[in-house]
């Protein structure tokens, strides 16, 4: 018998949701969990998409303002190009942490044949950070900290696990952990008490919060309050999932597609700035990706 939990107040699953495939961008397919009508946002998170894209599909030229996008490749490669001349390719295991701040216009397209897969997370910025200068943090797979113990391996994109810390700077305090559990293994991960947190299952199946009920891939599990998450892999196959947590911002969220601000007036301003090429969108009018 597996012990029930090492936490006196374990975080239990309060909401379970299947991320069904839907079309997005230009011919791309995404499984959206956070950001779908039943789960509009989980402060500070606005969206989590598991994307699956084969050329010529992709996410052609589009703007962002007021939040961060975190793109984590699971398979294949994606090239981004933006209106300020930034260009880069991320491959399996690499991560791009983009602070859109006051404004980015970019394209995100797969490179090479086959199916390209990954996760894109949108993290809100607090009102004081919404109009910061855009910034990129890009990490190659080999430079992302990892830890392993007793059949549990973890890649630490943000935050800390098993005594290992990420160097990514998160304007909104965030943890982003990618776990793989071998059959028969278990893990108990502390999560800061006031934070919201959720799990997205990438592969296999696991028991989350309590050992008696299991959940398969492509499900999102919202965690309730408590000290941390206990997880068990009681199946005969590896279990891979991401655990994402963040400090709530507790401010009003007004979203219009790729613009996320605090008020309707600010949204109208963002839309106008984009249309007219002002306040951070100066390069938007004459630019297009190659």
What residues line the site for ligand FJE (CB under 6 A)?
24-25, 30, 49, 51, 59, 62, 71, 78, 108, 120, 257-258
Smallest distance, Å, CB 254 to ligand FJE? Answer: 14
Q: Which residue number, 118 or 204, has a Cβ lying nearer to ligand FJE?
A: 118
Placement of tokens 């699956």 in the chain: 52
Q: CA-to-CA distance for 163 and 161, rounded, in angstroms?
A: 5
The total number of residues written for the chain in this structure? 290
Smallest distance, Å, CB 257 to ligand FJE? Answer: 4
Smallest distance, Å, CB 120 to ligand FJE? Answer: 4
Q: CA-to-CA distance for 195 and 24, rounded, in angstroms?
A: 30
Smallest distance, Å, CB 247 to ligand FJE? Answer: 24
3-state secondary structure of 170: coil
Smallest distance, Å, CB 216 to ligand FJE? Answer: 22
CA distances to 49, 107, 117, 272 from 81, in Å: 20, 5, 18, 23
Q: Which residue number, 49 or 266, has a Cβ lying nearer to ligand FJE?
A: 49
Q: Which residue number, 11 or 117, has a Cβ lying nearer to ligand FJE?
A: 117
Q: CA-to-CA distance for 46 and 253, rounded, in angstroms?
A: 9
Q: CA-to-CA distance for 32 and 54, rounded, in angstroms?
A: 18
Q: Which residue number, 51 or 179, has a Cβ lying nearer to ligand FJE?
A: 51
* Segment holding 275, helix H or strand E: helix 264-276
Q: Which residue number, 82 or 186, has a Cβ lying nearer to ligand FJE?
A: 82
Smallest distance, Å, CB 2 to ligand FJE? Answer: 36
Q: Which residue number, 128 or 290, has a Cβ lying nearer to ligand FJE?
A: 290
3-state secondary structure of 138: strand
CA distances to 86, 136, 238, 270 from 3, in Å: 50, 42, 20, 52
């Amino acid at each position: 018998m597996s012990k029930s939990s090492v936490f006196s107040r374990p975080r239990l699953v309060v909401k379970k949701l299947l991320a069904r495939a839907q079309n997005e961008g230009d011919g791309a397919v995404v499984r959206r969990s956070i950001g779908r009508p039943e789960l509009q946002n989980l402060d500070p998170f606005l969206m989590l998409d598991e994307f699956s894209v084969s050329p010529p599909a992709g996410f052609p030229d589009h703007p962002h303002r007021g939040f961060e996008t975190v793109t984590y490749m699971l398979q294949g490669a994606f090239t981004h190009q933006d209106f300020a001349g930034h260009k880069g390719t991320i491959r399996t295991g690499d991560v791009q942490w983009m602070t859109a701040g006051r404004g980015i216009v970019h394209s995100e397209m797969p490179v090479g044949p086959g199916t390209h897969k990954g996760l894109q997370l949108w993290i809100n910025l607090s009102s004081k950070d919404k109009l910061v200068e855009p910034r990129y943090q890009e990490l190659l797979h080999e430079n992302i900290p990892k830890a392993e113990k007793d059949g549990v391996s973890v890649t630490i994109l943000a935050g800390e696990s098993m005594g290992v810390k990420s160097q990514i700077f998160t304007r909104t305090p965030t943890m982003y952990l990618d776990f793989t559990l071998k059959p028969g293994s278990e893990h108990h991960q502390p999560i800061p008490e006031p934070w919201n947190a959720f799990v997205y299952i990438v592969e296999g199946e696991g028991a989350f919060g309590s050992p008696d009920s299991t959940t398969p891939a492509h499900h999102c599990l919202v965690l309730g309050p408590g000290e941390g998450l206990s997880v068990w892999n009681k199946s005969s196959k590896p279990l891979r999932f991401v655990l994402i947590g963040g400090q709530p911002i507790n401010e009003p969220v007004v979203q219009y597609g790729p613009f996320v601000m605090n008020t309707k007036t600010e949204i109208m301003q963002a839309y106008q700035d984009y249309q007219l090429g002002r306040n951070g969108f100066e390069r938007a009018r004459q630019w297009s990706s190659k």
